[in-house]
Amino acid sequence: MRLVVDLNRCQGYAQCAFLAPEVFTMHGEESLVYAPWADDEHREKVARAVAACPVQAITADGLDDLDDTPERPAQPGRGA
């Protein structure tokens, strides 16, 4: 699957590196390094990383047909 990170938008929160360290790593404290192509074995971790990015800087081709795309849990007291 092909990955693109908008490095102008990325703020270095490193959620992607935490969730998919095989694909995303931090170089220093603010510089993200990533593999532009990820194997299907990392698909679920990449989907979680895309969903967790606070500034929505990551896009990945081929995640649309993933059945278990992680959803953010509902906030208590806010309904579903």
Domain CATH for 25? 3.30.70.20
User: Which ranges of the chain have pLDDT less than 70?
Assistant: 65-80
Q: Is residue 17 part of a domain?
A: yes
Whole-structure pTM value: 0.75
The predicted pLDDT at position 38 comes to 92
Structural domain of 17: 3-60
Which residue bears the tokens 């969903």?
A: 51
The predicted pLDDT at position 80 comes to 42
Q: Is residue 66 part of a domain?
A: no
Half-sphere exposure of residue 22, counting CA atoms within 13 Å on the CB side? 10
Whether the Cβ atoms of residue 70 and residue 48 lie closer than 8 Å to each other: yes
Domain total in the chain: 1
The predicted pLDDT at position 76 comes to 56
Q: Is residue 51 part of a domain?
A: yes
